[in-house]
Amino acid sequence: MLFWMDGQVRACSAICPHMGARLEVDTRRGVITCPWHGLTAKIGSSQVDGFPCAHPRYRRIKQYQVTRDDHGNIMLER
């Protein structure tokens, strides 16, 4: 999922690590949220907040480093 925030293109996985809901980005609050169960992560930190479960699978939302080349192409670091 690509989005624009603070003058930068950013990228993160659109799949919630819990049950796969399509994650939503709230650039005003700077958070990524799950519309099904309320999982929340701060954009840039990749750590999941507000989630009491200790299961390691649910504790991170994959976020990617984004770079732009001279032609304006967007490159994601895997």
Which one among 26, 27, 36, 65 touches another protein, defined by CB under 8 A? 36
Q: Look at residues 29, 27, 2 and name the one whose alpha carbon lies nearest to residue 14.
A: 2
Site for another protein contains 20 (CB under 8 A):
yes
> What is the spatial distance between Cα 55 and Cα 70, in angstroms, rounded to a whole number?
42
Q: Return the number of the residue (57 or 71) whose C-beta is nearest another protein.
A: 57
The sheet that has 2-5: what strands, in order across it? Answer: 2-5, 8-12, 63-64
Q: Which is nearer to another protein, 1 or 66 (CB)?
A: 1
Q: Binding residues for another protein, per CB under 8 A? A: 15-22, 34-39, 51-53
